[in-house]
Amino acid sequence: MTANDFLSIVPLFILTSTAILIMFSISVKRNHKVIYAITLASLLADFVYLMVYMRGTSHSIEPLFIIDGLGVFYIGLILITSLIVAMMSYAYFEQREERKEEYYILLILGTLGASTLVISKHFVSLFLGLEILSVALYSMIAYQRKRERSDEAGIKYLILAAFSSAFLLFGMALVYLVTGTMAFEGIARHLTANDGLSFMLFAGLGLMIVGVGFKLSLVPFHMWAADVYEGAPVPVTAFIATVSKGGVVGLLIRFFVTLNGHQYPTLVLIFTVIAITSMFTGNILALRQNNVKRLLAYSSIAHMGYLLVAFIAGNALGTEAVTFYLVSYFITTLGAFGILAMLSDTEHDAEATEDYRGLFWRRPWAAATFTAMLLSLAGIPLTAGFVGKFYVIAAGVNMQEWLLVVMLAVNSVIGLYYYIRIIAIMFEQQTKAETSNTRLNPAIYIVSSVTLAILTVSLIWLGVFPSGLMGIIKSLL
């Protein structure tokens, strides 16, 4: 490794050393506050380093990694998202869990896995990144063992993720068999030299789509989503919905663009079918959901479907649209789960729609924030969600993907129903007597509230002045 290699991979080193530092710190003395501070400081430092020193980096570490604009942007996005997840974790775990320190190690390692994914250009680094992310997630999902359903969620994720990894590995093996290389560029070279997909190569790529589709909870690999979202602690659910998916999306873009996958009609057809079924399945299953966590799980399935529309459109505009959509989706999802975490009491999470009845009259600020998040998910103007969706549709129209664009519009209308339903419930007058939640030290809530305020402001800021972020994305990609 040269000094240059080392410098360009510093963000990963910072994460690794943080994980080890936390581990030693636990062995000296368990102190939630200290470990929380270490986690936040290192994530922040990592993000600052990335922003200051690594803009415009274009360096590749043969044969595993390529650190370019796309990679730097996605690592930055992942780091800032993990930071927000970590911020909302303190209050949540302080109230509920006896041994909460290991959680931060796993959180950092999960972040490391996702960051590895977005800069990998080789099957080895791809698989290692994916597995680090998955293994960290297994234990994060089942972290609070006293909760009901946490074991169920953990085991479900463990078995299905292992199963999908097997598909991915077999797909990789087939691709390697045909092309004789595991580097993305090598595969692309083989494709152009041999003019098209052979059956074996096609089967390999198809199996890999299964592995990737599982992580993104695309239909028909979505079975785990609702149960895992429901069983996992709220910050972990937020982590799965954002960081884990963001990493895989970054990887998918790099893989597909390097292979120039858009010129193969069969692959595009597969993604089109997956996108349409994801949109419909997600939205229709969410319609009659009375559990907010499950509802958000189904809505995330639909959102990944929307995201695929821009992905299928390909070219530069498509990549920009995917990235912008992802940013707005991250902000919205983090905000929604942040509210969920804040409203939850020590016994169970605020996940039944009943918990939200009359929320506007009890806690107007929380209700207003949640409303903003839901409106953004639905894609109402003046929110980031609207601009994201607009961008996606623009990308689709640009490439004349009329079927997909029409499906997206239809699904947005279906989706509107269940988002608005929750908002309506929040505005209803309360029927039952108020149960006084035992609220802990109010200082704990300050961090959560500030985080949520920042998220809401950026949500509306992006909805009103999206050009700033668009400029950043354009210049980096």
Partner 1 sequence: MELTFYIASGIAIVATIMVITRYNLIHALLYLVVSFLAVALVFFVLGAPFVAALEVIVYAGAIVVLIIFVIMMLNLKEEAVEEERHWLTRDVFIGPAILSVLLLAELVYIIIQGDTGQIATKAIDAKAVGISLYGPYVIGVELSGILLMAGIVGAYHLGRQKKKVVHRFLEHAEE
Query: Interface with partner 1 by CB under 8 A: which residues?
Result: 1, 9, 16, 19, 23, 61-65, 99, 102, 105-106, 109-110, 112-113, 116, 124-125, 128-129, 131-132, 135-136, 138-140, 142-143, 145-146, 148-149, 151-152, 154
Q: How far is the CB of 273 from partner 1 (least distance, A)?
A: 32
Q: What is the DSSP letter of 466?
A: T
Residue 277 near residue 220 (C-beta atoms within 8 A): yes
Q: How far is the CB of 42 from partner 1 (least distance, A)?
A: 15
Considering the complex, state which of residue 65 and residue 329 has its C-beta at the smaller distance from partner 1: 65
Q: How far apart are CA 452 and CA 275, in angstroms?
A: 31
What are the beta bridge partners of residue 291? Answer: 352
Tokens at residue 101, please? 């320190």
Considering the complex, state which of residue 151 and residue 428 has its C-beta at the smaller distance from partner 1: 151
Q: How far is the CB of 419 from partner 1 (least distance, A)?
A: 27
Q: How far is the CB of 186 from partner 1 (least distance, A)?
A: 14
Considering the complex, state which of residue 107 and residue 395 has its C-beta at the smaller distance from partner 1: 107
Task: Count CB-CB contacts under 10 A for residue 325.
Answer: 26
The upper half-sphere exposure of residue 225, i.e. CA atoms within 13 Å in the direction of its Cβ, equals: 32
Residue 205 near residue 175 (C-beta atoms within 8 A): yes
Considering the complex, state which of residue 125 and residue 323 has its C-beta at the smaller distance from partner 1: 125
Q: How far is the CB of 46 from partner 1 (least distance, A)?
A: 15
Q: How far apart are CA 452 and CA 218, in angstroms?
A: 28
Closest C-alpha to 341, from 299, 292, 295, 375: 292
Tokens at residue 113, please? 């896995």
Considering the complex, state which of residue 6 and residue 417 has its C-beta at the smaller distance from partner 1: 6
Q: How far apart are CA 378 and CA 423, in angstroms?
A: 11
Q: How far is the CB of 128 from partner 1 (least distance, A)?
A: 4
Q: How far apart are CA 164 and CA 218, in angstroms?
A: 13
Considering the complex, state which of residue 90 and residue 386 has its C-beta at the smaller distance from partner 1: 90
